[in-house]
Structure 1
Amino acid sequence: MRSALTAAQNSVEERGLTFEGFGYACRIVHQSAPRTAPLLLLGGSSQNRYSWQSHEKWLAPLCTLITVDLPGYGSSDFLPARYDIGFLADAVQHMLTEIGVPEVNLFGGCFGEVVGLRFAQRHPASVRRIVFAAAASRLPDPYTDAVPRLAQTLERGDIEGAADGLVQLFMSNPEAGRVRRHAAVARLLQRQFLTQTPEEIRKAVEHNTRLVTHGCYEPLPVPEVPTLVFTGEYDTLCTPQMGRELAAAMPGALFTTVKEADHLVTVERREESADLIARFCTDRPVHGLPYCHAVETPRAASAAAPV
């Protein structure tokens, strides 16, 4: 007898779409007997719609999974930096409308959180639950400091130097604390950056320009839905404190850190991060998990603090 996972994997749909003249693509792993709403996975700027395949064995049995290369990313059309985060958020809503999905559990990791939060703010009726990872409500200082250097390095054609800089930016110093698979993930990132095509590099440069030009956060209302924010305990890019700040800006949001992980928590601890996402999206407990530190409610703690 085929397992639910095998059945889900055998029902994969690729869709080509166009929004405001820009072509883009999404991938749908259908689940015929879902336990929760479809899960929309918005990954980081260096990830594409196939980057979450390694998580499918834990997530696909629970619900339909949706991943997307938005305009300007992955295999989709190049998107000039004058198009801001709101444009990308509206492209997400366009995709959901086109594929006939009225409501999703929303996951956003790193840059995916930036787009996901704007999407939730602009289209709150489309969001049932929110999970953000390795996230912040402001651009990290190490990122804004690194962008001009990385741009200059790429302009010189020094791809190896840019790859070294990006690995250092995304990953914690090995002396910060024990991180699972740190060396292996560093090699994976290095190889990924070194093998980028000229078009991928062009998109990466435009991505950085877009973020620095438009910023990542607008103080718009956030839907009051169940929300979880988490990051690796040694995340030096979007630090745990920055994650707490984001959670404090969202009604009733929970926050936790995953042990032995840094900014790339969903890569370093795939099974654990998938379990955390799955638990939250199916209303199972996320307190007391052996791979997480204590779950906090930053907004409540801030309100209770003495003035």
Structure 2
Amino acid sequence: MRTAVIAAQDPPRTGRSGPLPSAPEQVEERGLVFGGFAYTCRIVRQRAPQTAPLLLLGGSSQNRYSWQSHERWLAPLCTLITVDLPGYGGSDFLPASYDIDFLADAVQHMLTVIDVPEVNLFGGCFGEVVGLRFAQRHPESVRRAIFAAAAIRLPELYSEAVPRLSQTLARGDIGQAADGLVRLFMSNPEAGKVRRHAAVSRLLQHQFMNQTPDDIRKAVEHNTRLTTHGCYRPLPVPAVPSLVFTGEYDTLCTPQMGRELAATMPGALFTTVREADHLVTVERREESADLIARFCTDRPVDGLPYCNSVEVPRARRAPAPA
């Protein structure tokens, strides 16, 4: 599950327009090494936090700068942590033989090195795959868990698209691959109204067309990693406050897939965000940030004007891992 980065591949800009995070504290970048692979995390510190640090694990095409546009709403709340794990963003290439357990343990390694014993965990799309495995393997490090645009089985659309996209990229036909990726991530316009659908589609196209050879190499290896190792293991999940949400018109990781994920997590809530699809955190940036902030500070998440009803999916046996 490869999530678009949306204007986030560049490092922090100086003199940019628009509001900055309220009362910014210290911003720190740390170079780390795990299992022989170099990687980097970014920490936006808040000296007067209202809750535990928030660890944001984004999609496979997102990097540690991808959440800067959310900082204006989240940075006043708590310390924010983003990371380019091995194999992603600007970190070292990671062969597909290294599985999701390795990435989950890299997350724990990072938190140990930067001396953060417990986090509010957010994982979007592929970030959920890593985040859930991290929570399963290191439950003591998770205070709350929030997952978005997520699933515990590889979507059929993704499994069907991977061979075609890999062959297209191998031929060097970036334009055709970009077209296929946009169709994969964006809902059909006839499915329902999605905020900024046309604009986000154009941004996606631009992002995919401007991938570097290193980006493409890592993307192909990422797809191999997921199809080889799968995205889910039926391990115990910590009984912490948990929320799963997605766009109501998500056709990649559908709302039903989100319900399946929530049903594996003790007492997890589930909801859909109105007028959004798989790229809910881009199309409805302020609303998704508000939802994350509310849940991390134990404020109500029901009755919000931008969400549909909040559900508590019934626990049941999880589908067989893909």
Using structure 2 for the length normalisation, give the TM-score.
0.91
Distance 2:39 2:306 in 1: 36
1:139 and 1:38 map into 2 onto residues whose CA distance is: 30
Aligned to 2:227: 212
Output the CA distance in 1 between the equivalents of 2:204 and 2:135.
30
CA contact (8 A) 1:231 1:265 kept: yes
TM-aligned CA deviation for residue 46 of structure 1 = 1.0
In the aligned structure 2, how far is the partner of 1:102 from the partner of 1:246?
A: 25
Q: How many residues align structurally?
A: 299
Matched residue SS, 1:125: helix
In the alignment, does 2:179 pair up with 1:164? yes
Q: Alpha-carbon deviation of 1:7?
A: 3.1
Gaps of 5+ in 1: none
The offset of 1:287, in angstroms, is 0.4
> Structure 1: how far apart are the matches of 2:117 and 2:210?
37
Counterpart check, 1:268 vs 2:277: no
CA deviation string 1:40-89 (max 9, x = no partner): 00000111000000000000000000000000000000000000000000
Identify the match of residue 240 of structure 2 among 196, 202, 225: 225
Equivalent AA in structure 1 for residue 265 of structure 2:
M
Alignment map for 1:34-45 (pairs within 5 Å): 34-45=49-60
Q: What amino acid is aligned across from residue 280 of structure 2 in structure 1?
A: V
1:108-119 map, 5 Å: 108-119=123-134
2:212 to 189, 197, 202: 197
Question: AA paired with 2:114?
Answer: I
CA distance in 1, matches of 2:139, 2:38: 25
> In the alignment, what sits opposite 1:7?
23
Give the corresponding residue for 2:113. Answer: 98
AA of the residue aligned to 1:7: A
- Corresponding residue for 2:3? none
Q: Which residue of 1 aligns with 2:266?
A: 251
Aligned to 1:28: 43
Query: 2-side partners of 1:146 and 1:216: how far apart?
Result: 16
Structure 2 residue 157 is matched with structure 1 residue 142: yes
When the two structures are superposed, what TM-score results if normalisation uses the length of structure 1?
A: 0.96
Partner Cα separation in structure 2 for residue 250 and residue 6 of structure 1: 34
User: Residue 93 of structure 2 is aligned with which of 67, 78, 85?
Assistant: 78
Task: Report if the CA contact (8 A) 1:253-1:299 is conserved.
Answer: no
- Looking at structure 1, the residues matched to 21 and 228 of structure 2 have their Cα atoms a distance apart, in angstroms, of 42
CA contact (8 A) 1:135 1:238 kept: yes
Q: What amino acid is aligned across from residue 158 of structure 1 in structure 2? A: D
1:106-134, Cα deviation, whole Å (9 max, x unpaired): 00000000000000000000000000000
Look up the equivalent residue of 1:184 and give its one-letter code. A
Which structure has more helix as a fraction of its residues?
Answer: 1
Tell me which residue corresponds to 1:235: 250
